[in-house]
Chains A and B, each alone.
Chain A
Amino acid sequence: MMKSRGWVVYPLLIISSLLLFFPIVYAFLVSFMSGTDVMNRSFLPSIWNWSNYERVFETVPLMRYLMNSFIVSTGVMLGQLVVCAFAAYAFAFIPFKGRNAVFLLFISTLMIPWEAAMIPNFLTIQAFGWMNSYLSMTVPFFALAFGTFLLRQHFKTVPHELMEAADIEGLSKFATFYKVVLPYCRTSLVTLGIYGFLTTWNMYLWPLLVTTNDEKRTVQIGLKQLQTVEVATDWGVVMAGVIIVIIPTLLLLFIGQKQLQKGLTQGALK
């Protein structure tokens, strides 16, 4: 029965994939185009050349930025895993007074737009002396309501036989946490890890604010650096920048897609 559906599904899949993936493919094509190709609305570059990429690396210290993005994203990923896992454990397994209220408080943080909190946070960062430091781009993002929620939902699916066994063995709460709960819920941990990495990699206004030199800057700022106001923008170069910036995240997504998808549902489901 499934097979008979194939001839309806394939064309639909192909069309949707083409539509959805088109902007990325086109950005890739434009990144090889000369100014005249761009003006002529060409679909394919008339000559494939790498000069736009060379220009990008000349204009912006992109390798350094990529490195910084990598450090910051990894830092946030790890920090989020630790902080969110702790919080989720409390919400899932410790029936304390006022749990619902605290949980609501956590969820309410989802509704605070980060842009609205940016100025006070900037002043805080400055008072801490965290300007131009990886700390300012990582620590504020360790606590994450979405991540806590995701992990809590998965933690709750831990079979109670397992928990009982842990209890009988006389494991302490913390031991239960890292010997039983974490291994059982590794899918969600991986999911949150990928999610955290991706979202951090993609931040753009905040890293620009808290860094004042190239030392600690991330790649999204490089994208901004390629655009100008009073003189013409070179679209080929900008698109080359775009491609360089998205390659790492797309790769990560392609590799981790299965895990990500599994973990995300465990969070949503129960």
Chain B
Amino acid sequence: MADTSPVLEVEGLGIAINGLPTVDGLSLSVGRGETVALVGESGCGKSISALAVMGLLPGVASRTDGHIRLEDQDLTALDEPAMAKLRGDAMAMIFQEPTSSLNPLMRVGHQITESLEIHRGLSGRRARQAALDMLNQVGIPNPETRYDQFPFELSGGMCQRIMIATALICEPRLLIADEPTTALDVTIQAQILELMKRLREETGTALLLITHDMGVVADMADRVVVMYAGRAVETADVDDLFDRQGHPYTRLLMGSIPTLDGARKTRLAAIPGTVPDIANWPAGCRFAPRCPLASDICRTTQPPLKPFAGPGHRSACHHADAVESLT
């Protein structure tokens, strides 16, 4: 698992969209060969944080605070050409929607060799051979035929394999996967998750996995960062988090998921209300309006991430010790 120096280190990251604070004080690190899951619901800021790491923030968004380090490099000090040199080489990203993330007018083989040409100066037969090997590794049958096809000729699962191949061809130290299996059917999801596990073992890539699916988290992650409304509310090793939650949001979220072995036809735990709007983040703890444990301090003072139960387990809740009483 992880050696001491992290591959990716994010410290106090703040992001604003159209001047509205979207992500606030996010810190996380991913070690070599380690998988960290960034978990949360839509709009919690998990994807935009990943884009900030890649230097791909859209025009309306900007980084307002914090540092991002990839090994010994401070990415926040780099200009765009320097970032472009890293993207696809030292770090790579795969997206949720494989069919719309590939260039529809480019043969899939060329989409894989493109970064070899740019970053390694490799072209022609040698690039083609490397791409064919990669296609083989990601489990594409008949790579020779597929190499010359266009994305529309491939299924969603195959396109996701192609994306993974393009991302891994330069052996990145960091791979960010943003909901890589959400658009896929469960039997195809199982294939892709197994593939990502195998490649992670073979290459030692640090993996930052963005997902909202607690099943995928349980299956893939070593550590978990739970985000709510732009902030990290809890972070822990995966086993610790599923054993004991230190934040009411995590606790209720887990209780609201029907399981394959629990009681049937019973009422599920529900989190009342909806995720607050980015333009109206509540003061204090942002989960307070929906939280059954909320008290006066929660509505005025933002709780810091502080140590909870075991080592490496931190929770941002004034009432962390009472969370277990919630059902």
Task: Answer yes or no: are A and B bound together in one complex.
Answer: no
